[in-house]
Amino acid sequence: MATKSKVNAAGNYTKPGLRKRIVAQVKAAATQGTGAGQWSARKAQLVAKKYKAAGGGYRD
């Protein structure tokens, strides 16, 4: 049973929809030795970089 994501439960992201799309793109690709569909710290770094570059921000 899949559970609903609680990533933005605290309201940390200014554009949660944008970040969700970027997460899906990065997770679907094989990157830096991590297979497609797998999550890693490196992929988390890539998401943060792409999110900021696309105009996303963080709330205090």
pLDDT digits over 14-24, tens only? 999 999 999 99
Model pTM score: 0.83
Check: CB of residue 28 under 8 Å from CB of residue 52.
no
In whole numbers, what is the pLDDT of the chain averaged over residues? 90
pLDDT digits over 42-58, tens only? 999 999 999 999 999 99
Cα–Cα distance for residue pair 39/27, rounded to 1 Å: 6
pLDDT, residue 2, reads 67
Question: In DSSP terms, which residues pair with 13 in a beta bridge?
Answer: 58
Where along the chain do its domains lie? 16-53
Inform me whether the pLDDT recorded for 5 exceeds 90. no
